[in-house]
Structure 1
Amino acid sequence: MAVSIIVGSAWLGFSVSEHQGIATLRAESNHRLDLFASAVEGMVKRLEHVPATIQLSHDVLNLLRNPGNPRRVQAADSYLRRLNAHVGSMSAFVLNDRGVVVASSNADRSDDSRVGEDVSFRPYFLEALSGRVGRHFAIGVRGEPGYFVSHPIRDGARVIGVAAIKISLEPIDQTWQMVGAPALLADANQVVIHSSQPGWRYTALVDLPVERRVDLLLTRMYNSMRIRPFPLSPMLWIGEDGQLLDGPGPGGQQQMLRRATGTGMLVMSRPLDGMDWRVMMFLDLREVRTTAALNGMMASVLAAFLMLLALFLAQRRRIQRQRLESRALLERANADLEQKVTTRTRDLTAANDRLRKEVADREQAEQTLRATQSELVHAAKMAVLGQLATGITHELTQPLGAIRTLSGNALEFLKRGDMKTLSGNLGIIARLADQMGSIIHPLKGFARKSEPVPARTDVAVALGNALFLFGLRLRKEQVEVVNLCEPGAVVAWCDANRLEQVLINLIGNAIDAMADSPVKTLTLAADYEAPEPGDTVERWARIDVIDSGAGLDATTLAHLFEPFFTTKTQGAGLGLGLAISRDIAREFGGDIVAHGHADGGACFSLRLPAAASVQETVT
């Protein structure tokens, strides 16, 4: 049993370590493989645009339009020679619509002139002749491999020739070192066209079907080269994720190649963007498996240690069962501890009772403070009503005089039997009574003593009610009122009655501040304001009361909201209005700030939570 556990632990440790080692090796090699693939793409594809520019040459077009002219052939060869020297390709050449080379950058070289060659069998010529860009690897007739790129040459809508360029693969030899492992480059036929291992070149990674071999012979893509099987494994195939795998077919899940010696290799594969080529890297797993074997040995040693530890613990439990005498001592100690806990709990209970009493006293004090504040707020209301009594009396005197006159006339018309005129007088009396009711109604709501209840409050309505109470005084002192707040534009979350009291105090102070000003302008504005960092609401409703008075100096600003501080003459105010107004604003989560205005005068900004913001938070 013990031997089985140790052997199983060794096998499990080896398997887990091997799996993790392969995963780590794959992750570390992915970056190198990506860099190598990018380098290969840059070297091979950097000249793909060159054939498209050849058709812009008038020398080439003139040659294809009138072939056989030696002067035009020489001009086209000269242009291709200069172009090839500039871009650094192996050769650049032009074919007519029958696939015969009519001009070449190597025309002056007897060993690689290409002029007069018939390459109509090449796929890159057939692709370009059909109007598409041709790209593929091929071994030239002189045995030099290269990457051919072709482009159709059009004369209007007709393809009259093909421009082609041959790109060398030799620069890739300088990039094998960045891979740090055997690597290869395979084309769309799964044939190795370049490799850091010379013996791997022109071998097939998969078994090529007979029909495919016939096509390769017809197109002479690999010239007369015989394509041999890849030396490492005869059963490679391309999986759904693009990885090159070995095994019997799509049912296999292995990614390792086995040498004849049994040592495994990890295969990493990447397709090249825009090409049918694939880059592959072969990583030796001997080091990974050596580490996995060491870890398996350590796992077996750990399993043996754990088994010995289990035997030690079992022996220890048997010894502990022989020490039953210590239980009595532990029970007595436990009893002493419980007694101490009971004593401490009694003291804690007494302290908790004292704390509850203190909390109740503080709650009572807070209720008393709130009641006192409410009384103070109501007293401030009554003080404002007292100040406005003269104006309200004047507003009611005219309708009362008119009612008195019209009622006397009504009696006279009743005696005369003039019912039509009597009916008209009674209608006028009714309208005057409604007018008096509209004057008295805001005063009744403002003077009512009630607990503040937050609700949706239209700022424009509250400003209108506050301005109504100052109507006579504003007209008497010739104060121009600029009300920029439209009904329904700004809605705050507060008590409407308390908001009107704050606005009456701010408007009254603004009128007092403009008593000696040559220009008396009262500006009222309201808008929404974004919250600052740390605010608990999503949006503020801001109300600005701006006057054209003398403004506020630094000393006044420093003490403006202190109780009993006032800039008015003795007996004109107690200095509590702004302090009470700020307490009301803070009760609803807002505040009042004062500052000088850019055009002169003072600006008092009342900020309250916006109704929509508070309701969304509550919901």
Structure 2
Amino acid sequence: MPEPRRLARRMPWWLAALLAGAAVLWLAGRLAEQSELARIRQAGGHRLEVYVGSLRNAVDKYAYLPYVLSINDDVAGLLARPQDAARRERVNRYLETVNRSARSSALYLLDAHGEAIAASNWNTPQSYVGNNYAFRPYYQDARAGRPGRFYGVGATTRQPGYFLSQPVFDARGVAGVVVAKVSLDALETSWQRAGDRVLVADRAGIAFLSAVPAWKLRSLAPVAAPALDYIRQTSQYDRRSFSPLGLVELSALDADARVVALPEGRGRSAWLAQTVALDDHGWRVLLLSDLAPLRQTVRNALVATGFGLIALWLLLLYWRQRRRRIRDNLAAGEALRRAHDELERKVAERTRDLIDSNRALEREVAERKRTETELRAAQDELVQAAKLAVLGQMAAGVTHELNQPLAAMRTLADNAVTLLDRGRPEQARGNLGMIAGLVERMGRITGQLRAFARKRSADRPAVAVPVAQALANARLLLEDRFARRRVALQLTLADPGVAVLGDQVRLEQVLINLLRNALDAVAEIAAPRIEVRVDTLGERVRIEVCDNGPGIAAEALGRLFEPFFTTKDGEGLGLGLAISLSILRDCQGRLSAANRAEGGACFTIELPAAPAG
């Protein structure tokens, strides 16, 4: 049968298979989407119940407080005789004591005209006494003979809170109002630590509590004019306009759940919005759950289903091919026998080619090993050059360190000669002893310089290096810079005897590079400070070199360890950190950098700990 006619006969079967596969993929994605959405919704519902419960607990646990205060005899007596100074003082102190015990924000007493005549903060600069709060809804509700509730910003303190009021009755009716103000900041802080995106909105749709600080006092929808008038009349919030949060409804699942889009960065992300209405307060609690897991689940389901369809197709193809192979094998026996000789010839040729390729590969491996040896030698030369450059920069400080003992030795020697001439050998011996001490100190300085400048052998094995000794040697070489710049160095060793596997001279070079960088970072700081901490973490030792400088710029943080990259405005070659990283990698160590939360930068070294003994 000609090829075009055979393809035409097979085309409907291929189209039917493609349509069936597409239908299976759609059904799998739909089922996965519904299942994951139900799981996210159920989990969000549980979390939302917890948030609603914590909100009700934070609000309702103080509901008893205004009523208890309203039945106090001194409170009723002060309303009857507001000019009684002694009773006023008793009520003030009583409110202060109850407020401290109940841990509320404030307690105060209003007369029938809404003027505060006693308060728990009576003796503070922000005392409520003398202020009139008749415009507040909680006063108006209590004045009408019923308990009042109101959330808003304090008219005196400008601090937000939840106000609970209770009328105080006498024989003629409502004589005054007791008010308790409760702060919900602790509740809001606990929500922020939980990491969910949850908020509480009032009747006007304004979010007055939120786990996301940027959402606070923003509206879920444009605020109506009557609601804005109410906010202005009651001074509920400290602003007159409220920018919308920008939630866009994509689909509604039911009355309490819908899928919304939230503007974030340069795009929008999809979230599941679940709400619970608190009708007794006129509030709505809204929880947003990220739908990124849903999209990932759908992708996984589609991939798994696709692989399953591919496997099924391959299985069918294998079955078909097997049948064809059996048929072809029967006809190919003779052809295989004829091709045997040709195959042996090709195998021989291929074997010769493989032998030639193997020899070429061996030559390439040898060339790469030679190149690696040359690169390592060049790296060692670069390390040595960097060390000599550091020595050159420290020359002035070392000269200063040597000039002082030399001058002292000259003076002591002259004094010793004079003392010997005067027949006072004991005092001359003391001068000679001090000269010997100065010579020993100069020997330590020059010895450290010789050890630091010494070139490391490429095949030198790793040894146990005491970290405290390496830090002491590095500090000795930089002592003059610490003194001249008046930089405080704080050294903390969890174990003074801790040692690492490596090379002492190279470890000292890394420490000197990091300390010099830290000294440069705090050059413009009023109270410069460098901290070095050494901790043991199992089989690893961590050394941290931190400063209180300006920190590392975000754009430079990812390039610090690139060769020839520097942040010192033309000073230095930008090789110090790259060489330090290479040295530590040779010792199976690591080097990383980060900014500290309290300010400044911190470089962390991790090296294998030396075995005990």
TM (norm. structure 1) is 0.46
Structure possessing the higher radius of gyration over alpha carbons: 1
